[in-house]
Amino acid sequence: MYSTIKFLHSYWAYLVLIILILATFNALMKFFSDKEFSAKDFRISLFTLIVTHIQLLLGLILYFVSPNGLQTIRMNGMGGLNSLSRLMAVEHPFVAILAVTFITIGYSKHKKKLTSKPKFKSLAIFYSLGLILILSRIPWSNWL
């Protein structure tokens, strides 16, 4: 089970990153060019929300079954973690939860707006924050 979840979490991350970059740049470009919010924009933002939530669920499952997650903290304690262990067991999960929270807030706020400019503004701000957080805590040494 561990290897399957790890495989899914690792490769689903590429999809998350691609669609989050697409959604962020779509919102930024259309915000600054005063375009109208269309059904395509709605689908892009919704798909981004869905894939990030799936990634979060895979990550949470992985956190509890992986030897690099909760088990590392149980074995070594918080003070006994080296930088890579701390990244995998503490920083990566915490920042991922924060990033998905920002993406969810952005999606929820955009639905309440009535005109295009505020919709794109909410998506641009919160999706950008989520993207920056995700990029900051990707375990690049394990990923590339």
pLDDT of residue 70: 86
Phi, psi of 66 (to 5 degrees): -85, 145
* pLDDT at site 52: 97
CA distance linking residue 5 with residue 7, whole number of Å: 5
How remote is the C-alpha of 61 from its chain's centroid? 15
Residue 48: what pLDDT? Answer: 97
pTM, entire model: 0.89
pLDDT number for residue 143? 63
d(CA 102, CA 80): 31
In the predicted structure, residue 23 carries a pLDDT above the cut 90 = yes
pLDDT at 17: 95
In this structure, the dihedral spanned by the alpha carbons of residues 42, 45, 46 and 49, taken in order and rounded to 10 degrees, is: -170
- ∠ CA(25), CA(26), CA(28), 5° rounding? 60
